[in-house]
Amino acid sequence: MTLVYLPSALDDLEWVRAYYAETFPAGSYNAALRFEETERLLIAQPLCGTPYLARLRRRKVTKTPFSLIYRVVEARIEVLRVLDDRAQ
């Protein structure tokens, strides 16, 4: 199983990086680790996220205010968005 970020999610990731750089630079390293942990978990267990809108799933990135919105397509996990859960 492979995990890819679609262009819309890449834009979100850029925002997340800028957020940490400006607001909480000391937390950026830990946030990056949490994103990597979530990616490894999704690769190992693609259906571990909660159902979210038609055929999409949502997985919280632990110890951050962010979630990944993704879908499983054949042998690939496609991350469509990185959401800021505080805006929900």
Mean pLDDT of all residues in the chain? 94
List of domains in the chain: 2-87 (3.30.2310.20)
Residue 8, both tokens: 């819309």
Report d(CA 20, CA 64) in Å as an integer: 11
Residue 87's pLDDT band, with cuts at 50, 70 and 90, is confident
In this predicted structure, the answer to whether residue 88 has a pLDDT above a threshold of 80 is no
Beta strands 76-84; 2-5: pairing state: parallel
Percent of the chain at pLDDT > 90 equals 84
In this predicted structure, the answer to whether residue 63 has a pLDDT above a threshold of 80 is yes
| Higher pLDDT, residue 44 or 24 | 44
Which amino acid, 70? Y
Residue 38's pLDDT band, with cuts at 50, 70 and 90, is very high
SS3 state of residue 86: helix
